Chains A and B, each alone.
Chain A
Amino acid sequence: MCRGISILRNRIRQELFEEYELARLVHRRSEATEEELWFDFADRTKTVLLPIIHDGQLLIREWGNRGGQGKLPKTGWCKQESLVAGKWRWLSPEPVEIPANFGLEKGIWFQVTEGMFTCSRRRLRTTTR
């Protein structure tokens, strides 16, 4: 599982950056490092977003269902076994790629080199594999 992800600022198009007001997510680990956008599911201040690549296009979508609205469970993840078992079939899940440079779990930032996630076609909300 991954509590948050980070993507290099220069990987996000300016239009997306402005449309979703991503400036609040900009972080720099030190003055000498590149700017990153930190998407943290535990961030209670705003709606949690997530960058995804769907049909080859980089998009920004809401991450999971932290607010608990609708029929989705109040979470940002699901188990891979439950996906394989077809328990999410009613949402027509589709694979998307999350273009993360780093992942965050238990307070540890780790390098991400590859990853595939799934999201719902209906709501394009994400669940990790």
Chain B
Amino acid sequence: MIGHVDADCFYVSAERVRHPHLRAMAMGVLGNHGACIIAKSYEMKAAGVTTGMPIWEARPICPNGVYLKRDFEWYEILSRKMLGIVQSLSPRVEFYSIDEFFFTAELSDAKQVQQALVEGVGVPVSVGIAPTKTLAKLISDTVKPLGCGVIANEDDRQRLLRGKPVTEITGIARRSGERLAKHGITTCDQFANADRAFIRWLLTKRGEDLWWELNGTPVQPIMQTRPEHKFVSRGGSIGAASADPARVAAFVARNSERLVEALNHYRIVCDSVTLSLLFTNLPERAARVSMLGSTADYESVSQAALWLLPRVWQPPTSPVHYMHVIAGGLRPCGHRQLSLFDQQSSRSIKLAEMKRKINQAVGRFAIQTALTLPLRDVHRDPANDYDICDVYGKTCF
């Protein structure tokens, strides 16, 4: 059997661990720009506040609600503590996301795991146990908050699936849901009872895997280590949309810096860099450039991304509000293709190493490229120093 642990409104619960007076309060956790609610307590949810809602819309709905900024560094501390507890109770554990874990389980484990986490960390969790990962996640979602659910037999499985919207299955997002709906499949039981070959035709192998899982046959293993990356990306919202060339270029440089940090962490190099920009008034645009030899060097990656910037940013008057710098063609450091034309100078290697050591000793972003100087507001706010993607080792986002 497979168990699934899912923390109940994790960011909120994590804040309540260190600030107990927040318990039972309607509270919302804000994103790095302090504008949108990225997590909310059940009390705030009951008032009608939804995730992603801007704070100025939430205020009149929930006037006594309390808001605070996210702190992923703290959330990671609790997450790893939870991981350690689950690992002490099960021989195989998957670090699925910052607040979710899969583990090999016995039917009777649910309460024990839940109790150990609540007592050991102080974060309420829901636990599901089922023959497959998909069913375990579905049942733990169903029994929230602070619930335990077990799929022990065929009756339990059918009861769980009956009438439940198909989009509640992890892996069936809005677009797949629309495709299925066109063929009259809107619920989990309809999906599970559909023809397997038809599901494969409609949603490819990924959809077929979900069909097997939903019918109780495990095809998705518990992954104790993260699978190799196909791409590594850094970016996201840049706050208020900007058409200021210096500010947008500064974000490209900052995201390149973060990307190189991630490549170094994973000990991989990339053969290509892609820059993707989202505009407030135009469709997304992206372009890719091949590198002269595999690299994880900041100078090369940032130069490539900045070279792409005027090519992607068309017309240059369009306000940019999202961006991603993406490394592709990844391979381990030891298998790098060297460039015939452009060798990294020993000076730049020494500089990069010195920068890495200083940042390691003094603090992340203690030394950063001067190109990011227009981002003083971003640098001033410590919430920007640590992001969800900086929590390494998760198999999902």
A interface residue numbers (CB < 8 A to B): 8, 29-30, 32-34, 101-102, 107-111
Contacts and interface: CB of A to CB of B under 8 A. Distances in A.
Interface in B36-74: 43, 55, 59, 63-68
Given A101-B21, A107-B59, A108-B59, A29 B26 contact: yes
A111 B41 CA distance: 15
A-B CB proximity, top 7 nearest = A32-B24, A111-B68, A29-B64, A109-B66, A33-B24, A110-B67, A33-B25
B68 A30 contact: no
A34 B21 contact: yes
Contacts of B55: 108
A21 B223 CA distance: 61
A110 B68 contact: yes
B63 to A, nearest CB: 7
Interface string B16-43: 0001011111100000000000000001
B22 A111 contact: yes
Nearest to B60: A107
Given A8-B21, A34-B21, A101-B21, A111 B26 contact: no
Interface string B143-168: 00000000000000000000000000
Contacts of A29: 25-26, 64, 66
Interface of B: 15, 19, 21-26, 43, 55, 59, 63-68
A34 B66 CA distance: 13
A108 B65 CA distance: 8
A30 B22 contact: no
Of B23, B26, B64, B66, most buried by chain A (CB within 10 Å of CB) is B66
Nearest to B20: A34
Contacts of B25: 29-30, 33
A102 B43 contact: no
A101 B22 CA distance: 10
Nearest to B68: A111
Nearest to A112: B68
A111 B12 CA distance: 12
A34 B65 CA distance: 14
A110 B68 CA distance: 6
B59 A111 contact: no
A111 B66 CA distance: 7
Contacts of B22: 111
Nearest to B19: A111
Contacts of A110: 66-68
Contacts of B26: 29-30
Nearest to B55: A108
A107 B65 CA distance: 10
A81 to B, nearest CB: 16
A110 B37 CA distance: 13
Contacts of A34: 21
